[in-house]
Amino acid sequence: MPLPLSYINPDAHLLNLLLQDTFDLDLKDHLDPEARESLVTGPSIEKSIAPLRSFVAEPMRFGRLFLAGDAAHIVPPTGAKGLNLAATDVKYLSDAITEYYAEKSPAGIDHYSQRCLRRIWRAERFSWWFTSLMHQFPETAGFGQKIQEAELDYLIHSESASRALAENYVGLPLNFGE
């Protein structure tokens, strides 16, 4: 199925958010016939535009202050990685703090930032790449637009490229990099 305009053109996306009927039609285009028939729509209760940005505060420890989640890193939403990264940071940090108090060992908290950052940069890279593939930006025109289309074509028609996308999309194991 071709991608709807709203997925590749941020201006059209903005327009779709503002035009509820268009949004409902766009949504229905993605459902199978049975689900489409049974979908009940209603007025939106909130509409906003999420800015696309990438950011990492490195290191994630400043003395006795530890950063985790969005306070330490932002990914554009395309890869759906933000909450997953935040949950992993918290898992690593809670383990490290438990180790510090239970075993009197600073190894976990000393290693916390480095342990998180390898995973974070992998997710940043993937989210940045996927966003640059799925959205049109004002500076991307002509040659850049054609490269973007060729990349999308490669992704759809090459098993290797699809596999690389899937590998990154499903995420990394908790022991990644160890």
Ligand X SMILES: Cc1cc2nc3c(=O)[nH]c(=O)nc-3n(C[C@H](O)[C@H](O)[C@H](O)COP(=O)(O)OP(=O)(O)OC[C@H]3O[C@@H](n4cnc5c(N)ncnc54)[C@H](O)[C@@H]3O)c2cc1C
- Interface residue list for ligand X (CB under 6 A): 50, 69-71, 77, 80-84, 86
Q: CA distances (Å), 113 to each of 8, 123, 137, in order?
A: 35, 15, 33
Sign of the torsion formed by the C-alpha atoms of 132, 137, 140 and 146: positive
Question: Residues 59, 73: contact at Cβ < 8 Å?
Answer: no
Question: Residues 134, 78: contact at Cβ < 8 Å?
Answer: yes
Which residue, 3 or 83, has its beta carbon nearer to ligand X? 83
- For residue 74, the minimal CB distance to ligand X (Å) is 8
Which residue, 149 or 167, has its beta carbon nearer to ligand X? 167
- For residue 70, the minimal CB distance to ligand X (Å) is 4
- For residue 82, the minimal CB distance to ligand X (Å) is 2
Q: How, if at all, do strands 55-56 and 61-62 pair? A: unpaired
SS3 65: strand
When CB distances to ligand X are compared, the closest residue is 69
What would the two tokens of residue 159 be?
């098993």
Which residue, 135 or 140, has its beta carbon nearer to ligand X? 135
- For residue 87, the minimal CB distance to ligand X (Å) is 8
Which residue, 57 or 107, has its beta carbon nearer to ligand X? 57
